[in-house]
Chain A
């Protein structure tokens, strides 16, 4: 049964779907009744929705707010990061510049730059993406730093089996 076709949708309710284990939020753009039935292409009512993927829910960790993408964001730099230490004032992270084979860098990032919902995830070894740049709107420029922690699930059974098989291959090299 396809939940997309059977879930009741109206403008007021927040509709959450789970497809292939991944959560999505559905926002109603055009609800039944917005457009007269006779103008709809099939002669029936018309519904238009926007489906946005949601960050994965992790036990004990709230989801951050999902916001529509702001198209006027101008990226100045972006990194992949890994937390190497937690401190009272923030995190220390090792960074690798995206798109360039750049030497790794290190950054001290205050807690206020990290979404409160993501702060419990900022443990040693946690992976995140970091973009900095500007939002431009009505002639105003706002400096933006956006940090998103990976909420992808840990190793699947398949990945574990693949790693074990690979480790066995490595072990055999020592006997060769």
Chain B
């Protein structure tokens, strides 16, 4: 409450906060009437706690009472960190993940990672914690909702303050669900066939991601997750565009896949979003070539001038404690760590759509036009 920009929105306001610590992202949304939903999870740089919890606490919101939905768009480490801890503080929230994650091969990958020390990776260990928590709560006869969704699923549909509140899943398509089932199976078989023990490699692509459209009154928010552009019309963004109606265009966009070129297509902007739509992204600084790249920033700014990032996408060399530093220098070894550059972009507007979004940046967040 003391920090600027963190006063709780009024009951009639919708608010979308994208939090990005440089690696990972989390979206906290006020649906009106002090009801909230959280999409994905990342860890706060300073405390190591789920960033969404800290954000809600700073506004005086009790997550145990006021969070209705927690959605995990996909299994990647940068979208699930701290999710189990978040769920433990939101016991009344429904937890929703992609239909693709019900696949037996995915569940076996999670189980293999849990049973064997040193096999953690790809965000799977977080799922092991989530499943264990759900199991424990159910054994105690406590509610622990676990749901899945796919393109066409309605996650929420109700009236709040006389306004329609609705959350739609736009993906994954049936075709992508099948593709992910095969990809999970390939990874599972590869893991078991290896001559020596290996970790579960990062599972790509991001076809199983859940893209969401959140409607609060006349506001529509498009959350692009890590969705990619694929050549097939029943896959990725093309499948979403195929089934979307133009009258449902959104006036806020959480940019897909950290602003990458393969997460974008001009039709997203022309058919799913209103002109000059505010667009917000969280960078991924852990990649060999961090996202977004300069060309990505230029491309996004060519779509809308109202574009923000939670942090700069740069890397810097990590300084190791003095004795080891000499070892690394003499051997040509380079170690990087994600710099402490967490930021939050908060967009707030009334539900009746009469005024543009008011946007506040916190921490290292900045407007993309400043980077050019």
Q: Measuring CB to CB, which residues of chain A are less than 8 angstroms from any residue of chain B?
A: 56, 58-59, 74, 76-77, 80, 82, 84-85, 92, 94-95, 101, 103, 105-110, 113, 121, 123-127, 132-134, 143-145, 149-155, 159-160, 162-167, 169-171, 173-174, 176
Q: Give the interface SS of chain B, mostly helix, strand, loop or mixed.
A: mixed
Establish whether residues A124 and B201, one from each chain, have CB atoms under 8 Å apart when the complex forms: yes
Q: Is the CB of A109 within 8 A of B286?
A: no
Question: Is the Cβ of B337 less than 8 Å from the Cβ of A106?
Answer: yes
In whole angstroms, how far apart are the Cα atoms of A176 and B143 in the complex? 10
Bound-state CA distance A109–B328 (Å) is 10
- Cβ-based interface call for B116 (8 A): yes
Give bound CA distance, A134 to B331, whole Å: 13
B146 in contact with A173 (CB, 8 Å) = yes
Instruction: List 9 other contacts, CB 8 Å, given A58-B196, A84-B202, A176-B138.
Output: A76-B324, A108-B333, A133-B324, A133-B327, A154-B195, A154-B196, A165-B111, A167-B110, A176-B144
Assuming the contacts A163-B115, A176-B146, asked whether A82 and B324 have C-beta atoms less than 8 A apart, the reply is: no
Q: How far is the CA of A92 from the CA of B118 in the complex (A)?
A: 18
Query: Which chain B residues have a beta carbon within 8 Å of chain A's beta carbons?
Result: 48, 102, 104, 107-108, 110-112, 114-116, 118-119, 121, 131, 134-135, 138, 144, 146, 148, 191-202, 286, 288, 318, 320-321, 323-324, 326-328, 330-338
A151 to B118, CA, bound (A): 13
Q: Are B192 and A171 in contact (CB under 8 A)?
A: no
CB-CB under 8 A for A173 and B331, given A154-B195, A166-B114, A167-B110 = no
- A167-B331 in contact (CB<8A): no
User: Which A-B residue pairs are the 7 nearest by beta carbons?
Assistant: A125-B198, A166-B111, A76-B324, A167-B107, A163-B111, A76-B323, A143-B327
Check B335 against A106 for contact (C-beta < 8 Å). Answer: yes
In the bound complex, CA of A71 to CA of B113 (Å): 35
Interchain nearest-CB distance for A83 vs B (Å): 8
A59 touching B195, Cβ below 8 Å: yes
Say whether, besides A106-B286, A126-B198, A127-B198, A163 and B327 are in contact (CB < 8 Å). Answer: no
Instruction: Give the docked Cα–Cα distance between A119 and B243 (Å).
Output: 49
Given A105-B335, A133-B324, A160-B192, A127 and B115 touching (CB < 8 A)? no
